[in-house]
Amino acid sequence: MDNELKHLLEDVKAGGVSIDEAILKIKRKPFEDIGFAKVDLHRKARQGVSEVIFGAGKTPEQICAIAETMMQNGQNTILITRLDEAQADAVAVRIPLKYHKTARIAVIGDFPEPDGIGTILVATGGTSDIPVAEEAALTAEALGNRVNRLYDVGVAGLHRLMSHLDDIMGASVIIAIAGMEGALASVIGGMADCPVIAVPTSVGYGASFQGLSALLSMLNSCASGVSVVNIDNGFGAGYMANMINHMEARR
């Protein structure tokens, strides 16, 4: 993982940064209290990924204040999830951003160049699952991953999925997103040789219980190597896929 603390120590070793300069950087306060929020400034040093702003329930003024605090402390790419169009328009008056309406995601700054070990494949059962899929895909891209999208390949027409075996076999992580009975994750899990992250969606008729039936099906998958995140949690799946795709060999 691209860990700031590791790079800082490497710079000290190479002579590019003095010991005193390194100590000063490490001693900087770990968070900034702006009244209604405590912005985590050390998260990238701890986890390799900076804090992400959850937009739902926040005012545009709050989002701007948090984002500005991040930018003042050196964060170049800021991800804002679950942001509606009205919020995005209000924030954009103060801070330039790119808004992705389908995913309800805004990005301040530019996407980094992909530096993961492979490609993350994002697959959906149907077109109705695309909003959750785009949240996952854009999250992964904003964190420095190459993403391949494979939409509307559900088990109701299995030939559609089987025509993309090369994509499935060539991925380093797969995010399988489906509503209804959630069978897509098990089918992909039975073919792939990489981790599969299953995302149940709230797509379906009455007895799907807003995604609960897909969640239970995915939790009970007979395919090995399938893990499950919460209903409609595309962000969580994209974040986890990023962690897997950036794992380094450890002795």
Cα distances from 54 to residues 7, 115, 130, 228, in angstroms, run: 28, 25, 20, 21
Pairing of strands 38-40, 31-33: antiparallel
Pairing of strands 119-124, 98-100: unpaired
Residue with tokens 């379906």: 204
The predicted pLDDT at position 156 comes to 86
The predicted pLDDT at position 251 comes to 43
pTM to 2 decimal places: 0.85
3-state secondary structure of 65: helix
The predicted pLDDT at position 15 comes to 86
The predicted pLDDT at position 1 comes to 41
Residue with tokens 């990023």: 242
Answer for the pair 172, 118: CB distance below 8 angstroms, yes or no: yes
- What torsion, rounded to 10 degrees, do the Cα atoms 144, 231, 131, 147 define? 30
CATH 3.30.420.10 for domain 119-245: no
The predicted pLDDT at position 231 comes to 97
Domain ranges of the chain: 19-108, 119-245
Residue with tokens 């937009």: 55
Answer for the pair 19, 12: CB distance below 8 angstroms, yes or no: yes
Q: How wide is the angle at C-alpha 186 spanned by C-alphas 183 and 189, nearest 5°?
A: 145
Pairing of strands 105-108, 119-124: unpaired
Per-position pLDDT tens, the chain of length 251 = 445 667 778 888 888 888 887 777 666 667 777 788 888 776 776 777 778 899 999 999 999 999 999 888 878 889 999 999 999 999 999 999 999 999 999 999 888 888 889 999 999 999 999 999 999 999 999 999 999 999 999 888 888 988 889 999 999 999 999 999 989 999 999 999 999 999 999 999 988 999 999 999 999 999 989 999 999 999 999 999 999 999 875 54
Q: Which helix (H) or strand (E) holds 100?
A: strand 98-100
Determine the residue type at 46: R
